[in-house]
Chain A
Amino acid sequence: MSSHATAPVDPNNVVLWDYEDHGHDFIGTRSIGFWLYMMSDAMIFAGLFAAHGVYVHNFAGSFTANEVIHPINALWPTLFIFTSVLIYGFGMVALKKGSRSGVINALLLSFILGVGFLLMEYREFSELAAMGAVPQVSGFLSDFWVIVLTHAAHVFFGLIWMAVMIVQIMTNGFTQNNVYRLINLKLFWHFQAIIWVCVFTFVYLMGGI
């Protein structure tokens, strides 16, 4: 850590211990801990993408990927999730400047865009259900529903977390606890954009090839 032991030591005035408790890096330890959780979360998606690679041609004589997946329809959710992530990023810039209203406004806008993302997915999957493309029809459809809706579940829980953060910042401001929670939610939320890049590419785009 510190390395200012270069000055000659005066034996009469030397201080052998530090009277103050500096504690550990409270925010840093929580952020690396949550980051390790995100890595294990990525492995859940590894399992899902592996299953997708296996099941993608198992139509069981029913709907093929081309009939179910329309890559152009996935563009709207892409726009919503990316913009929500960007606005959350601006919220982190507002945090850096110590602007409470800036953080709350960014979280609110990010929340609304996240809700928009979920509504898009709700529309898409209710259309699929209406045409009978439900998970129990084939291995491919089971996989398609699970992989997209697992991502949607992440977004859903991220939104709950975001709503809680808005309340906590309104009531307590930028305490140490709230700041580390904002950093962890940032890791979580930005991670959803990265997973969405993979879902969009390997599920929607490849389903359209």
Chain B
Amino acid sequence: MSHDHHNPIDHPEVQLASAGGYLFAYAFGLGAMLLGLWMVLNHTLTPVGLTTAVSVIALVSVIVQLYFLFKLDLSSTQIWHTVSIVMTAPLFVMAVGLTIWMFHTLMQRTMIPLPGMGM
């Protein structure tokens, strides 16, 4: 490694830190989780409605945290971080979604329907 020319603190990834952004992510994340908890405890919707609602809340909360905690944007400092998560997210969704779909339809797809076994 070559000798230091710069103070490492001047590196753009250090300079990304922002107290306001972290506070916003904290307040938003906590608020979203409290909202989800309140909805579940009070049975505000039908089970399917609740499942959808808390999933949407979690998704929004994750996106807000990704942006405000990691500063994922298209700036020259961060673009490869952003590209890598854009590449990973579909793998994540497919791994979870396809596995669950596969197992929940396994019976219909593999078993010969027996008489009287309503499908």
Contacts and interface: CB of A to CB of B under 8 A. Distances in A.
Q: Do A and B come from one complex?
A: yes
Interface of A: 20-23, 25-28, 31-32, 35-36, 39, 42-43, 46-47, 49-51, 53-54, 71-72, 75, 78-79, 82-83, 85-86, 89-90, 92-93, 95-96, 98, 174-176, 179-180, 183, 187, 190, 193-194, 197-198, 200-202, 205-206, 208-209
Contacts of A32: 80-81, 84
Interface string B59-71: 0011001100110
A107 to B, nearest CB: 14
Nearest to B57: A201
Interface in B36-67: 36-37, 40-41, 47, 50-51, 54-55, 57-58, 61-62, 65-66
Given A179-B9, A205-B40, A206-B54, 6 more contacts: A49-B96, A71-B40, A78-B30, A96-B14, A194-B65, A209-B51
B99 A27 contact: no
Contacts of A96: 9, 14-15, 17
Contacts of A193: 29, 65, 69
Q: Give the 3 A-B residue pairs with the shortest CB-CB distance, closest first.
A: A89-B22, A53-B100, A50-B99
Interface of B: 1-2, 4-5, 7-9, 11-15, 17-19, 21-23, 25-26, 29-30, 32-34, 36-37, 40-41, 47, 50-51, 54-55, 57-58, 61-62, 65-66, 69-70, 77, 80-81, 84-85, 87-88, 91-92, 95-96, 99-100, 103-104
B9 A198 contact: no
Residues of B contacting A: mostly = helix
Contacts, number: 157
A85 B18 CA distance: 13
A174 B13 contact: no
